[in-house]
Amino acid sequence: MKRDAASKKVSKVIGTSRVGRREAARHAHASYTATEAKHEFGRVLERAIHGTTVVITKHDSPRAVLISMDQYEALQDAPRLKLNTLSDEFDALLNRMQTPAQRRAMSSAFASSPKRLGKAAVDSARKRG
């Protein structure tokens, strides 16, 4: 196993995101040249299966990463989880901002027919003058 400048560079890149920092803290990193990975694929695969993030380099530059399915699924789920968190935060903020009367008025507006909305817009414009 070879830990070179390319591997350190990948560790820095992986460590820049919140998910990357968590993953880096939980899993070790290993670096193999493409030739080493080809000749020792069984061992490289076993390391990835057991949670080691394997960086494959070519000409001293990181070219690929081999990770376990658990790590892959966590990365796949990250955007959805973030969106769900943001949606929950928005809903909580909206609930804190609206009074019960405002909530009823908005529900009524969304349930109104186009004809009723048009009449309300005309009445509002007349009031403004």
Domain range annotation of the chain:
1-97, 100-129
What is the per-residue pLDDT for 80?
83
What is the per-residue pLDDT for 111?
93
> How do residues 71-106 score in pLDDT, each as one tens digit?
999 888 888 888 888 888 888 888 888 888 888 888
> How do residues 40-74 score in pLDDT, each as one tens digit?
999 999 999 999 999 999 999 999 999 999 999 98
Answer CATH for 1-97 from 3.30.750.24, 3.40.1620.10, 3.40.1160.10, 3.50.50.60: 3.40.1620.10
60 dihedral zone (left: phi>0; alpha: psi -120 to 50; beta):
left
Q: How is 42-108 classified by DSSP, letter by letter?
A: HHHHHHHHTTPEEEEEETTEEEEEE--HHHHHHHHHHHHHHHHHHHHHHHHHHHHH--HHHHHHHHH
What is the per-residue pLDDT for 94?
84
What is the per-residue pLDDT for 112?
92
Give, as one character, the DSSP assignment of residue 32.
E
Comparing CA positions, the residue from 31, 30, 37 lying closest to residue 60 is: 31
